[in-house]
Amino acid sequence: MSDVLELVDVSVVRGGRALVDRVSWSVAEGERWVILGPNGAGKTTLLNVASSYLFPTTGTVQILGEKLGSVDVFDLRPRIGMSGSALAEKLPKSQTVLQTVLTAAYGMTATWQEDYDQVDEDRARAFLDRLGMTEYLDRKFGTLSEGERKRTQIARAMMTDPELLLLDEPAAGLDLGGREDLVRRLGRLARDPMAPSMIMVTHHVEEIAPGFTHVLMIRQGEVLAAGPIESELNSRNLSRCFGLPLVLERAGDRWTAQGLPLS
């Protein structure tokens, strides 16, 4: 399997501080990674490097076989699907759900005057349908609930048929039902052999959908553990990562974690 992403000794330094500190990490084709870590650990910074929007201060980055620094990022970016709050803020609130997804096919966030191809519109409708958004096609993006926005964004990220899908906290702000609905949909995507390689940032093990294969744990910019979920996701690593004693339990094909009571 070829590498979708390869970071070698990557650091991102700002104001003399390493936000990402000498990270070496590779993601092979077909893998589905979860990035776990506390607030401020460097998860989004790492994802920004993986999406080619942030160049490291030191180290080398290969994305989809292309070396960052020697590839035109405008050729690379359409091959990467992204969903996250930073991108959501750029999406015009007055655009309909269908337009919000459709504009991704043209590498834009806003609608333009061009006519869309029927084939693109059909694709946008199909992705929205898969995410349970068919009833919202004509609704303005700005009027959607948090959960509906998240689902629209994931459909949007899929629109360019990406080889790598990056999801930054897709379940943040969702209620229990919304989270579980999203986890089921992400699980279906993660288990689809035709789906792109995936990397999802989260704070909560409860948000890990079945089908995710690998985990990377990061704390203060440094990788604490990285590898198959089966071996690396355990109470010891999770406790080190979040800085307090945690008990991790597996319930069927899902995970839960709890802090030990204070004595």
* Closer CB to ligand ATP, 14 or 250, in the complex: 14
Residues 198 to 227 in contact with ligand ATP, rule: CB under 6 A = none
Q: Are 203 and 169 in contact (CB under 8 A)?
A: yes
Amino acid at 3: D
CB of 148 to ligand ATP, least distance (A): 22
Cα–Cα distances (Å) from 58 to 8, 46, 82, 182, 221, in that order, read 9, 13, 24, 36, 14
* Closer CB to ligand ATP, 47 or 104, in the complex: 47
Residues 30-69 as x/- pattern, contact with ligand ATP by CB under 6 A: -------x-xxxxxxx------------------------
Residues 3-22 as x/- pattern, contact with ligand ATP by CB under 6 A: -----------xx---x---
CA 201 – CA 145 distance, rounded (Å): 21
CB of 124 to ligand ATP, least distance (A): 29
H-type helices in the chain, by residue range?
43-50, 73-76, 85-90, 97-102, 118-130, 146-158, 176-190, 229-232, 235-242
CB of 15 to ligand ATP, least distance (A): 5
Residue 173: CA count within 13 A, CB half-sphere: 12
* Closer CB to ligand ATP, 45 or 95, in the complex: 45
CB of 11 to ligand ATP, least distance (A): 12
CA 141 – CA 226 distance, rounded (Å): 36
CB of 118 to ligand ATP, least distance (A): 39
Q: Are 56 and 8 in contact (CB under 8 A)?
A: no
* Closer CB to ligand ATP, 188 or 204, in the complex: 204
For helices 146-158 and 176-190, angle between their N-to-C axes, nearest 10 degrees: 10
Q: Which of 23, 258, 26 is nearest to 164 (CA)?
A: 26
How many residues lie near ligand ATP (CB under 6 A)? 11
CB of 227 to ligand ATP, least distance (A): 20
Residue 83 interacting with ligand ATP (CB under 6 A): no
Chain contacts with ligand ATP (rule: CB under 6 A):
14-15, 19, 37, 39-45
